[in-house]
Amino acid sequence: MSPTKTEAEIVLRLDQITKRFGKLVANDAISLTLHRGEVLALLGENGAGKTTLMNILFGHYLADAGSVTAFGQPLPAGQPKAALAAGIGMVHQHFTLADQLTVLENITLGTESLWSFGRGRATALAKVQALSRDFGLAVDPHARIADLSVGERQRVEILKALYREARILILDEPTAVLTPQEAEALFQTLRLATARGLSVIFISHKLHEVMGHSDTCVVLRHGCVVGQVATRDTDRHALAAMMVGAEMAEATVAPGVPGPVRLSLRNVRAGPLREVTLDLRGGTITGLAGVSGNGQAALADLIGGGLLPEAGVMLVDGTALPKWSPRAAIAAGVGRIPEDRHKTGTVADFTLAENAVLETYATRFARAGFVDWAAVRRHTETLIAGYDVRCPGPEARIRLLSGGNMQKLILGRVMEEAPGILIANQPVRGLDVGAIAYVHGRLVAARDAGAAVLLISEDLDEVMGLSDVIHVISEGRLSPAFARGALTQGELGLWMAGHGFGQGLTDAA
Amino acid sequence: MRLEPVANPTLLRQLGLPALALAATVLVAMGLALLAGANPFAVLGQILTGALGSRLAVLETLNRATPLIFTGLAVAVAFRAKLWNIGAEAQLYAGAIIAVLLGTGALGAPFVLPVSAAVALLAGAMLLLVPVLLKVRLGVDEVVTTLLLNFIMALFVSYLLEGPLKDPMGMGWPKSPALTPDARLPRIVDGLRLHWGFGIALIAAVIVWVVQTRTTLGFEMRAVGSNIRAARFAGMPVNAVLVKTALLSGGLAALAGWSEVAGAKGHLSLDLSPGFGYTGIIVAMLALLHPLGVVVTALFVAGVFVGADAMSRSAGVPTYIADMLLAVALLFMVLGIALTKVRVVRG
């Protein structure tokens, strides 16, 4: 913010960091400097080397070459403890908190020596409360982690780092799990932190955050720094171009042509879902916005056959199906792109070919109980070619593929069956810009071919950009349908935070 | 010292480390021989000649490998689907009991062998069906239930041999009457002491391999074992797959006991199996659960046992060295295989 940033003290310097994994150069002579009071955004596609770089900085990996200097002192390589002691605090994407302990216990965990256990509690409490107040991190120190929301847990992680006297905060995709309002609060905290002389590195995919809240942007591509610019001297298009290496036009999606209702839910209760009423129409992308963990997984499971309705009615093409299971769903023309492609979408040790027929081996590729592997192989080659899956071939283990290529194979597996109903649960999570555009294009193509698409995403931009109709899910409740453009981002954010539901339900009734 | 994953292990790593494990095993074996007060090189030589040194020795090794192939396959099939069948020993005895029940005069010439084999298969399958149903219906841990069934079965066999199945002409020994000649498995080659149980075991290995790699059931078994969540999501009938796996595994283990009684021994006694069911776990693990690999490792393990027996007779070193050798081999092999996937980094 202040024009004298570049003259401020350098608190962290990475010098010519190089890291190879076999033939892959994950980090190629990366250098960067962080100044006191600066917010540095680290941008890059997936696989660009951001996480590797942060893991080296934090001592989880050993660099093959290069050095790290913090506050003028060289940081010994490969020692997370040294990084902590030097005042570097990391807030991981996946929190590292003990659910059964309180906020205070989590924060002080590991900082007390064995001898002083139990003492110094009041001091610790006072310190946590002071930090809470100074940095705008409102959270009850005596609450159990299990009872906290995702946003609150992140605040605890930040408090934990601050409690350990961190002078440099590193946040790995901090807003991925937050509502727009929570994200705004987070950036407010970061501003308070830099005002007190702390420095921040945050990793992000979201260009508007980077533009709105950083002083400097460093863009990585293929393990190299391709650009370091002052944020005020650049714009979103320039950054996107740097990330992918080419100027990208922002896609605008034409509205779909609504067809008949393919699937409808009437007052369905199932797992965490409460009285959900929903229509999925052919030729329509129905977007489901919401903060993760509010029932999206249950809704996807329900339509995908993994969860049975406890009450209410579910109709597929106007008829109630007597048996509901993943197999019944697939047979009824439901295509499923699962939320977690590693854990539910694929079998890591299986080949691409085996993964390509996980759902269809018995129906399309078997004769008398034997799998026709030659046909499977041909089918997989078609998918690889048709969906631009970059891989060594159908016999390669799928675990070797990047997330984007894995997702393209899943996409091909689902699309080849020409589903009438398509559930895409977080279809672009963790993908790079190129793969995101590809997946979105395919979803729109499926819609234009007449499919009823349910797009579940935590990224509000994605939902607003693609959907013809939007529902918001909060604590298992579904909002009424909003036409495209009917609500602003802020209004949707309020629904995501749970406002409006009581009223919405009476309206619907 | 830290561990880092290796993304693509080289061929040298994949083959070299197991070879190194074998070398380390031999070294430890020599150390053990030294501790027992014998010449380590002589002991090693005697184990080798004992296992492979003569036609008789080779035949003995093949005979000893037969039940191990069956139990190894039983374990490999189950473990591949992450069904932890520790009860091959009990299933083996179930097959052995059937061989006695049907082979001591109940059935005549052309039928007795195929019928008793089929019933033995079924008996072993049923014995594993109960634990697996408890697992899929109630979530009962099959490690515990299958393990405990081994002891129940041992006591049950003991009861049979002291009671209903006791040989009246057995001079008081707890053993069953001898099988009728019709009920005995013939020798593969006249005059050579190797019965058809070995041939059937080889055929079984090939069948299991074909099932695992070519059939929809095998595909499902491997998927359930590798990632049960993905298998369930893809719509595979996970519970049915586990039940079918159990039937196959239990049946294979039962054939081990059936072929020992009908082929090797001709009667049932309490010492029919010196832990073939448990050793099958080692056989399967050493083979990395590959059905054809099971044949190789069963031959290796049998050779170590037979060789150690012979060595013990001439060198006066206890045969326990064979057990220790196998245990050490397994440990080194597991470590070696683990190290193909990670590397040790100093730092």
Domains of chain A: 5-244 (3.40.50.300), 261-333+419-508 (3.40.50.300)
Whether B314 shows a pLDDT value over 70: the answer reads yes
Give pLDDT tens digits for A272-305: 899 999 999 999 999 999 877 788 999 999 999 9
Which residues of A are less than 8 Å from B215 in CB distance?
369-371
Which residues of B are less than 8 Å from A354 in CB distance?
219, 223
Question: Residue B127 in contact with residue B94, Cβ under 8 Å?
Answer: yes
CA distance A328 to A304: 9
Please report, as a single letter, which amino acid is at residue B131. P
Nearest CA in chain B to A371: B215
Please report, as a single letter, which amino acid is at residue A56. I
Compare CB distances from B227 to A22, A77, A347 and report the shortest one's residue. Answer: A347
Instruction: Provide the token pair at B128.
Output: 């594993």
Read off the pLDDT of each residue in A174-201 and give the average, rounded to a whole number: 88
- A138–chain B Cβ distance below 8 A for any pair: no
Positive or negative, the CA dihedral A309, A315, A317, A319 is positive
- B217–chain A Cβ distance below 8 A for any pair: yes
Shortest alpha-carbon distance between residue B210 and chain A (Å): 9
CA of residue A338 relative to chain centroid, distance: 14
Give pLDDT tens digits for A324-382: 999 999 999 999 999 888 889 999 999 999 999 999 999 999 999 999 999 999 999 99
Tell me how many degrees the CA angle B160-B161-B165 measures, rounded to the nearest 5.
Answer: 70
Most confident of A308-322, B84-98, B327-341: B84-98
- B39–chain A Cβ distance below 8 A for any pair: no
Whether A451 shows a pLDDT value over 80: the answer reads yes
Binding-face residues of A in 354-413 toward B, CB within 8 A: 354, 358-359, 361-362, 366, 369-371, 373, 400
Shortest alpha-carbon distance between residue A137 and chain B (Å): 36
Shortest alpha-carbon distance between residue B66 and chain A (Å): 28
Compute φ and ψ for A177, nearest 5 degrees: -110, 10
Element (H, E) at A220: strand A216-221
Question: Residue A275 in contact with residue A281, Cβ under 8 Å?
Answer: no
pLDDT attached to residue A377: 96
CA distance A440 to A403: 15
Give pLDDT tens digits for A33-92: 999 999 999 987 666 788 888 888 888 888 888 889 988 888 888 788 888 888 998 888
Q: For the purposes of burial, counting CB atoms within 10 Å of the CB of A422, is it exposed (0-12), middle (13-18) or buried (19 or more)?
A: buried
CA of residue B165 relative to chain centroid, distance: 26
Measured CA to CA in angstroms, residue A284 lies from A162, A421, A481, B99, B112 at distances of 47, 10, 12, 66, 67
Compare CB distances from B230 to A78, A345, A369 and report the shortest one's residue. Answer: A345
pLDDT attached to residue A4: 46
Which residues of A are less than 8 Å from B236 in CB distance?
358
Helix (H, G, I), strand (E, B) or coil at A55: helix
Q: What's A143's DSSP letter?
A: S
CA distance B321 to B305: 9
CA of residue A376 relative to chain centroid, distance: 32
Please report, as a single letter, which amino acid is at residue A391. C
Q: Are strands A65-70 and A73-74 parallel, antiparallel or unpaired?
A: antiparallel
Question: Residue A189 in contact with residue A134, Cβ under 8 Å?
Answer: no
Element (H, E) at A505: helix A501-508
Q: Do A349 and B230 touch (CB under 8 A)?
A: no
Helix (H, G, I), strand (E, B) or coil at B287: coil
- B11–chain A Cβ distance below 8 A for any pair: no
The dihedral region occupied by A239, where left means phi > 0, alpha psi between -120 and 50, and beta the remainder, is alpha
Instruction: Provide the token pair at A389.
Output: 């899956």
Which residues of A are less than 8 Å from B232 in CB distance?
306, 326
Say how many CA atoms lie within 13 Å of B218 toward its Cβ. 19
Q: Do B235 and A330 touch (CB under 8 A)?
A: yes
CA distance B45 to B75: 31
Q: Do B7 and A21 touch (CB under 8 A)?
A: yes
Helix (H, G, I), strand (E, B) or coil at B215: strand
- B230–chain A Cβ distance below 8 A for any pair: yes
Compare CB distances from B215 to A77, A327, A369 and report the shortest one's residue. Answer: A369
Please report, as a single letter, which amino acid is at residue A405. N
Q: What's A469's DSSP letter?
A: E
Whether A25 shows a pLDDT value over 90: the answer reads no
Q: Do B235 and A326 touch (CB under 8 A)?
A: yes
Give pLDDT tens digits for B62-111: 999 999 999 999 999 999 999 999 999 999 999 999 999 998 877 777 88
Compare CB distances from B226 to A349, A373, A400 and report the shortest one's residue. Answer: A349
Helix (H, G, I), strand (E, B) or coil at A138: coil
Shortest alpha-carbon distance between residue A343 and chain B (Å): 6
Q: Which of B304, B243, B312 is nearest to B65 (CA)?
A: B304
Helix (H, G, I), strand (E, B) or coil at B187: strand
Q: Do B223 and A350 touch (CB under 8 A)?
A: yes
Element (H, E) at B65: helix B55-80
Pick from A334, A358, A372, A413 the residue to mutate for testing the B interface (most B CBs within 10 Å). Answer: A358
Q: Do B216 and A358 touch (CB under 8 A)?
A: no
Pick from B2, B220, B233 the residue to mutate for testing the A interface (most A CBs within 10 Å). Answer: B233
Tell me how many degrees the CA angle B56-B62-B68 measures, rounded to the nearest 5.
Answer: 145
| pLDDT tier at B258, thresholds 50, 70, 90 | very high
* Of A115-124, B51-60, B131-140, minimum mean pLDDT range: A115-124
The DSSP bridge partners found for residue A316 are A263, A319
CA gyration radius, chain A = 24
Q: Do B233 and A22 touch (CB under 8 A)?
A: no
DSSP H helix total and E strand total for chain A: 18, 22
Percentage above 70 pLDDT, chain A: 93
Question: Residue A217 in contact with residue A243, Cβ under 8 Å?
Answer: no
Q: Do A62 and B217 touch (CB under 8 A)?
A: no
Tally A–B CB contacts below 8 A.
74
CA distance A159 to A166: 10
Q: Per residue in B93-118, is it b (16+ CB within 10 Å) or e — as a string? A: bbbbbbbbbbbbeebeeeebbebbbe
Mean pLDDT computed over every residue of chain B = 89
Percentage above 90 pLDDT, chain A: 43
* Of A133-137, A435-439, B1-5, B122-126, minimum mean pLDDT range: B1-5
Measured CA to CA in angstroms, residue A253 lies from A283, A456, A483, B86 at distances of 13, 17, 14, 58
CA distance B217 to B81: 11
| The residue count for chain A | 509
Measured CA to CA in angstroms, residue A421 lies from A135, A261, A443 at distances of 47, 10, 11
Please report, as a single letter, which amino acid is at residue B173. W
Whether A27 shows a pLDDT value over 70: the answer reads yes
CA distance B225 to B240: 13
Residues with Cβ within 8 Å of residue A369, at least 6 apart in sequence: B215, B216, B217
CA of residue A168 relative to chain centroid, distance: 24
pLDDT attached to residue B247: 96
Which residues of B are less than 8 Å from A61 in CB distance?
4
Q: What's A477's DSSP letter?
A: E
Q: Are strands A452-457 and A284-289 parallel, antiparallel or unpaired?
A: parallel
CA gyration radius, chain B = 21
CA of residue B81 relative to chain centroid, distance: 17
Which residues of B are less than 8 Å from A400 in CB distance?
7-8
Give pLDDT tens digits for A219-258: 888 788 888 889 888 887 777 777 766 544 455 688 889 9
Strands (E), A261-310: 261-270, 273-281, 284-289
| pLDDT tier at A509, thresholds 50, 70, 90 | very low
Q: Do A371 and B227 touch (CB under 8 A)?
A: no
Nearest CA in chain A to B210: A370
Shortest alpha-carbon distance between residue B307 and chain A (Å): 38
Q: Do A371 and B226 touch (CB under 8 A)?
A: no
CA distance A404 to A392: 15
Question: Residue B101 in contact with residue B107, Cβ under 8 Å?
Answer: no
Give pLDDT tens digits for B269-304: 999 998 999 999 989 988 889 999 999 999 988 998
CA distance A278 to A479: 9
Give pLDDT tens digits for A81-138: 888 888 998 888 778 888 888 998 888 887 766 565 556 778 888 889 999 888 888 8
DSSP codes, A1-53: --TTGGGSPEEEEEEEEEEEETTEEEEEEEEEEEETT-EEEEEE-TTSSHHHH
Instruction: Provide the token pair at B40.
Output: 């380590």
Which residues of B are less than 8 Å from A305 in CB distance?
235
Which residues of B are less than 8 Å from A371 in CB distance?
214-216, 219
- B2–chain A Cβ distance below 8 A for any pair: yes
CA distance B133 to B251: 16
